[in-house]
Structure 1
Amino acid sequence: MKFLFKVLDRITFYRTQKGWTEYQLAEKSGLTQSTISSWYRKDMVPSISSLEKICSAFGITLSQFFSTEETSFSLTPLQKDLLEASGHLTEPQQQALIEFFKLL
């Protein structure tokens, strides 16, 4: 059961980081709120396809979701595009962009 709580804890962690309710996560992932809440009520592990939808909503990969080390992760295609697009900015512009993202 340790694995179950880790998965659900990770979903809760990412959801609260975004400031989302279960309903908002359901909307953004394309899953129903009853599906998400049933995972917690019934101590169920979500299917891989459901986890892929959850990760997509969070803007992370499955690899990032399951990563145990903060330094070991891969970027999504959109994250790569963001990095490449910001590459031409000066350091102060990049810092301003980071501050802007934090406000979102």
Structure 2
Amino acid sequence: MNYEVNRIKELCRERGWSQYRLAKEMGESNGRVNTMLKGKSVPSNATLRRVCMAFNITLSAFYATDGIMVTLTEDQNKMLRDYSILDSYKRELAAAYIQGLADASRKPENET
């Protein structure tokens, strides 16, 4: 069985998802997901993207080998999507602004 199929099974186990739930979240037929999970077909790039969308992870998180997987909220995903369309100058501004907000949030109340 290939890495991708094993990783998909691992993600399902971590979340307590059934094969049916995965198929539903992916918008795929249960039969197609069953064929993939039995190793009878190799997931295409498009299928892997749908898997990642279902699990709310990035493709890089899918392939992460450090064992750390971060699941982002919808708000966090929106922030990243918005950030990704900015040019480099605006990204620097956004990062500086967010850092300033975070630094201000970390200060004890008597220092503000």
- Shorter-chain TM range is 0.5 to 0.7
Deviations along 1:32-84, whole A, 9 cap, x unmatched?
Answer: 1111111133532101111111111101011110111246x787683635998
Segments of 5+ residues of structure 2 without an aligned counterpart are 80-97, 107-112
Which residue number corresponds to residue 30 of structure 1?
Answer: 27
Which stretches of structure 1, 4 residues or longer, exceed 4 Å deviation after superposition? 73-77, 81-84, 87-90
- In structure 2, what is the Cα distance between the partners aligned to 1:22 and 1:30? 12
Percent identity between the aligned chains? 26
TM score, norm. by length of structure 2: 0.59
The CA RMSD over aligned residues, in Å, is: 3.4
Which moved further from structure 2: 35-44 or 46-55?
35-44
- In structure 2, what is the Cα distance between the partners aligned to 1:75 and 1:61? 9
- In structure 2, what is the Cα distance between the partners aligned to 1:74 and 1:19? 17
Give the 5 Å matches for 1:1-104: 4=2, 6-70=3-67, 78=74, 80=76
2:17 partner SS: coil
1:68 partner SS: coil
- In structure 1, what is the Cα distance between the partners aligned to 2:47 and 2:33? 9
- Larger Cα Rg: Structure 1 or Structure 2? 2
TM score, norm. by length of structure 1: 0.63
Alignment CA distance shift 1:10-1:78 (3 Å)? same
